[in-house]
Amino acid sequence: MRTFDQKQLQEQFREDGFVFLPGFINEAEVEQIHLHLEKLIKEKVPVMPPEHVFYEKKDDPSTLKQLQTLFSYDDFFYRLMFGSRFEALASVLLDDGVVGKNMQYFNKPPLTGKPTPPHQDGYYFMLEPNEAVTMWLGLEPVNEENGCVRYVKGSHRKGIRSHGKTGTLGFSQGITDYGREDDKEVWRVTKAGDLLVHHSLTIHRADANMSRDRTRKALGFIYYAQKAKENTAAKTAYQQKLNEEIRKASLS
């Protein structure tokens, strides 16, 4: 694992709303994640609730695109989430203690992996103050062809933008006026083990997977700052509505 200058990371995070840390974990650690993911998908996905499992095509297991709360199903992922270097990094970037909230698996299957609409994670989090980070850990090479993550530099300093329904399962809300002031979009070519971290208010999106034979697998980590408090009533109401929509979609 590479070492990084914490002060420099904090300054870049405050200025840009995201940081890129190449080689955050090594090849052997990436392989361990792949092995545990394969085991979890084989043994746990069949019994997971529908709000924790998303497919591009619901009748095609090969189009699995997203899993939620991995740490709830495997101790390996629990240790990766809590008391880990990922948690320590979140605390450095937010300059606060942190609370681990979610660990997700993401994939964009070849040709069927749809674009991720532009959005701000903070819209879903409903925090005051809206201080949180999302981490994106690449598990294989990603570039423009198979769906790289794109950020709008400095957008975290401009508050929450207007969001509306997107029709994209797993990303139900997206920015309604994207493109108006979004000319600072940047992206990185990433390798397995590279880490991207963005602020909860940073606008981001991802391209579709246009490759014929490449997947686009990654892990996502979400940490809230300790000082950030959830609007629990609004969050519960939103989650209940979303879960109902997911269950209806899984039955249709």
Reading the block at residue 123, the tokens are: 């819209």
pLDDT at 210: 94
Domains of the chain: 6-251 (2.60.120.620)
pLDDT at 180: 61
Burial 112-129 (b: 16+ CB within 10 A, else e): ebbbbbbbbbbbbbbbee
How is 32-89 classified by DSSP, letter by letter?
Answer: HHHHHHHHHHHHTGGGS-GGGEEESSTT-GGGEEEE--GGGT-HHHHHHHSSSHHHHH
Query: Any idea what DSSP says for residue 160?
Result: P
Q: What is the pLDDT along the chain (252 residues), one digit of tens a residue?
A: 577 899 999 999 999 999 999 999 999 999 999 999 999 999 999 999 998 999 988 888 888 999 999 999 999 999 999 999 999 999 999 999 999 999 999 999 998 888 889 999 999 899 999 999 999 999 999 999 999 999 999 999 999 998 988 766 555 688 988 886 667 789 999 999 999 999 999 999 998 999 999 999 999 999 999 999 998 777 777 667 666 655 665 555
pLDDT at 52: 94
CA distances (Å), origin 110, targets 52, 107, 145, 189, 216? 22, 9, 10, 18, 8
Residue 99 and residue 224 in contact, taking contact as beta carbons nearer than 8 Å:
yes
What CA–CA distance (Å, rounded) separates 40 from 239? Answer: 24
Other residues' Cβ atoms within 10 Å of the Cβ of residue 241: 11
Contacts of 85 by beta carbon, 8 Å cutoff, 6+ apart:
1, 24
- 151 alpha-carbon distance from chain centroid: 13
pTM: 0.90
What CA–CA distance (Å, rounded) separates 135 from 81? Answer: 11
pLDDT at 166: 73
Beta bridge partners of 15: none
